[in-house]
C-alpha cells in the first residue's frame, strides 16, 4: 500500500478517459468524466469532457 502511494506521488500521469458519468440536472457540480492514469491507476474526476484537469 505504501509503495502504491509513493508510486502515485512520483508518477508522470498519463490520464485516459475511463468512464463518462451522466449528470443529474439537480446537482450541477456532479463530475462528467472519470479519468484513469495508465501507469499508476490513479483515478480523478473532471467536469470537462476533453481534459482531465
- DSSP state string for 28-39: TT---EEEEETT
pTM: 0.69
- What are the tens digits of pLDDT across the range 1-53? 787 777 778 888 888 888 888 766 666 666 688 999 998 888 888 887 777 77
pLDDT value of residue 40? 87
Domain hosting 39: range is: 2-46
Domain presence at residue 51: no
Number of domains forming the structure of the chain: 1
Looking at residue 51, what is its pLDDT?
74
Asked, for residue 35, whether it belongs to a domain, the answer is: yes
Residue 3: predicted pLDDT: 79
Instruction: Examine residue 17 and state whether it is found in any structural domain, yes or no.
Output: yes
Residue 38 cell numbers, joined: 495508465
pLDDT at 1: 72
Would you say the C-alpha torsion 3, 9, 49, 23 has a positive or negative sign?
positive
Give the integer Cα–Cα distance in Å for 43 and 52: 10
Amino acid at each position: 500500500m505504501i509503495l502504491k502511494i509513493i508510486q502515485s506521488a512520483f508518477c508522470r500521469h498519463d490520464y485516459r478517459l475511463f468512464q463518462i458519468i451522466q449528470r443529474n440536472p439537480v446537482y450541477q457540480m456532479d463530475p462528467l468524466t472519470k479519468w484513469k492514469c495508465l501507469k499508476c491507476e490513479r483515478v480523478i474526476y473532471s467536469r470537462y469532457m476533453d481534459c482531465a484537469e
